[in-house]
Amino acid sequence: MTATVTVPVPAMPRRRKDPSEIRQPESGEKNVLLAAPRGYCAGVDRAVIAVERALEHYGAPIYVRKEIVHNRHVVDRLSERGAIFVDDTHEVPEGARVVFSAHGVSPAVHEEAAARSLDTIDATCPLVTKVHREAVRFEKQGYSIILVGHEGHEEVEGTMGEAPDSITLIQNPEEARAVELPETDKLVWLSQTTLSVDETMETVDILTQRFPHLEAPPSDDICYATQNRQVAVKKIAPGADLVLVVGSANSSNSVRLVEVALEHGAKDAHRIDFAREVDEEWFHGVSTIGVTSGASVPDLLVQDLLRLLADYGYGDVEEVRTADEDVIFSLPRELRKDLKAAGLETSNKKNGADRNHELR
Ligand code: SF4
């Protein structure tokens, strides 16, 4: 499903040097394939709105444990409005209000917060909470759990904290080949929500060959948003000389999009936080540029990039849509309760383009 969209050239185009200095591709044609879905997912949208609504309702400061979502622009804008981002709950003054990020926290963090009498708003994405619940349930049932994910990622720390004695972390196919597990009849795998679907299945295939009794999770742990963005970038990658992924370095799903693009035919691919990070050398000999963005990226950053590309002659933009998304998650329970008590709107009505606009 494709649609052609016109991207307005900015009144004051940003030029790092005369675009005519860039060597033209032989065909002389330049165009952009714009992946859809891209950008904000329902979990990110909800988490960002939760912080904004908390700032509006309770007033600044609102403490946020870790980056609410992995995007520099979003974190910077919320900081300007009075959010204070901390690495751990012990940095939050006793009795203050703290929001837990979309990536989730372990039970130990909830306990620390309770011990410091913090008012918590848990903005953990419901799809991360689902994986937490699976970990708890399988541990109770006596399973050993393999968690496919990346060490050090906040989501993985939170999930492992739910069943620390039962989870073994496997990061990639190499580790799947090498891992030694305790003898057990009950073995199940779960995964981080933002992984590469293909690499995860490769890892799981290796594990299944080695441990034939390995059971799969009851439903996909890699979330709909991660999967949809990977499907969309796979669609545009084969026809792209260059794929640009807007997203932050610590955004797992954004980093995966670069990898997926290269694995599926893109000749070159780069991740950028902002349009200004584009290196014009990347345009050398490039006719078609694919553009997408990670699940924590407001679309205004993509629009900035499209304006820059238009400035360099890539103004012909074709949107390539592989799925429609209409998922909305309700605001965190604690926040809804307080908003309701104050007679305020409790639904998560604002999302999509409105959110992106507001965060400029
Ligand atoms: S990427 Fe998926 S799991 Fe993560 S916040 Fe978005 S919807 Fe939730």
CB 94 within 8 A of CB 117: yes
Confidence of residue 359 (pLDDT cuts 50, 70, 90): low
Q: Ligand 1: distance of its center to the CA of 126 in Å?
A: 8
All residues at 6 or more sequence positions from 89 whose CB lies less than 8 Å from its CB, including other chains: 65, 98, 109, 112, 113, 116, 118
Tell me which residue has tokens 């981002």. 85
Packing angle, helices 126-140 and 154-162, rounded to 10: 30
**Residue at which a domain ends, from 215, 233, 268:** 215
Contact 142, 175 (CB under 8 A): no
Q: Is 351 annotated as a binding residue?
A: no
Asked whether the predicted pLDDT for residue 16 surpasses 80, the reply is: no
Say whether both 277 and 301 belong to one domain: yes
101 and 154 belong to one structural domain: no
pLDDT for the residue numbered 350:
52
Percent of the chain at pLDDT exceeding 70? 89
Q: Is the pLDDT of residue 14 over 80?
A: no
What is the CATH classification number for the domain harbouring 62?
Answer: 3.40.50.11270
**pLDDT at residue 348 greater than cutoff 90:** no
> Quick one: 121 and 131 in the same domain?
no
How high is the pLDDT of residue 10?
Answer: 34
Active site residue 155: yes
Pair 98, 165 in one domain: no
Is the pLDDT confidence value at 98 over 80? Answer: yes
Residue 349: pLDDT band (50, 70, 90) is low
Same domain, residue pair 82 and 110: yes
The parent domain of residue 294 ranges over 2-40+224-321
Q: pTM for the complete prediction?
A: 0.89
Q: Which of 48, 128, 293 to mutate to test the pocket of ligand 1 (most atoms within 8 A of CB)?
A: 128
Total domains in the fold of the chain: 3
With a cut of 80, say whether residue 73 has pLDDT above it: yes
Query: What is the pLDDT averaged over residues 74-97?
Result: 97
- The DSSP line for 161-175 is HHSTTTEEEE-SHHH
- Which ligand 1 atom minimizes the distance to the CA of 41? 6
Residues 176 and 242 in one domain: no
Does residue 195 line the site of ligand 1, with CB under 6 A?
Answer: no
Expressed in angstroms and rounded, the spacing between residue 103 Cα and the centre of ligand 1 is 8
* pLDDT score recorded for residue 15: 35
What sign has the CA pseudo-torsion 213, 218, 221, 222?
Answer: positive
Domain boundary among 169, 198, 215: 215
Please tell me the predicted confidence (pLDDT) of residue 172: 97
Asked whether residue 315 falls in the same domain as residue 233, the answer is yes
Residue 354 has pLDDT above 60, yes or no: no
Residue 183, pLDDT score: 86
Q: Which residues contact 229 (CB under 8 A, 6 or more apart)?
A: 35, 37, 38, 253, 257, 292, 294, 295
- pLDDT of amino acid 2: 47
Q: Check residue 18 and give its pLDDT.
A: 41
123 lines ligand 1 (CB under 6 A): no
Tell me: do 120 and 146 sit in the same domain: no
Instruction: Give residue 28's pLDDT.
Output: 66
Average pLDDT value over all residues in the chain = 91
308 within 8 A of 46, measured Cβ to Cβ: no
Q: Which tens digits make up the pLDDT trace of 36-68?
A: 999 999 999 999 999 999 999 999 999 999 999
Q: Are residues 189 and 228 in the same domain?
A: no
In terms of domains, do 290 and 230 share one?
yes
- Residues whose CB falls within 8 Å of the CB of residue 177, separated by 6 or more in sequence, listed in order: 206, 210
- Atom nearest to 193 CA in ligand 1: 3
Task: Say if residue 136 is in the same domain as residue 113.
Answer: no
100 within 8 A of 121, measured Cβ to Cβ? yes
Whether 228 and 304 map to the same domain: the answer is: yes
H helical segments located in 30-172: 42-58, 72-81, 107-115, 126-140, 154-162
Q: What is the CATH number of the domain that holds 206?
A: 3.40.1010.20
- pLDDT at position 185 over 50: yes
Listed in sequence order, the residues at least 6 apart from 48 whose beta carbon sits closer than 8 Å to its beta carbon are 68, 69, 74, 78, 355, 359
Residue range 101-131, pLDDT digits in tens:
999 999 999 999 999 999 999 999 999 999 9
Q: How far away, in angstroms, is 307 Cα from ligand 1 center?
A: 28
Active-site residue among 134, 155, 157, 162?
A: 155
Distances (CA, A) of 327 to 166, 177, 253: 32, 37, 18
Q: What is the pLDDT of residue 182?
A: 84
Collapse the DSSP code of 128 into the 3-class scheme (helix H, G, I; strand E, B; otherwise coil) and give the result. helix
How high is the pLDDT of residue 205? 98
pLDDT at 355: 53
Q: For 261-280, what is the mean pLDDT? A: 98
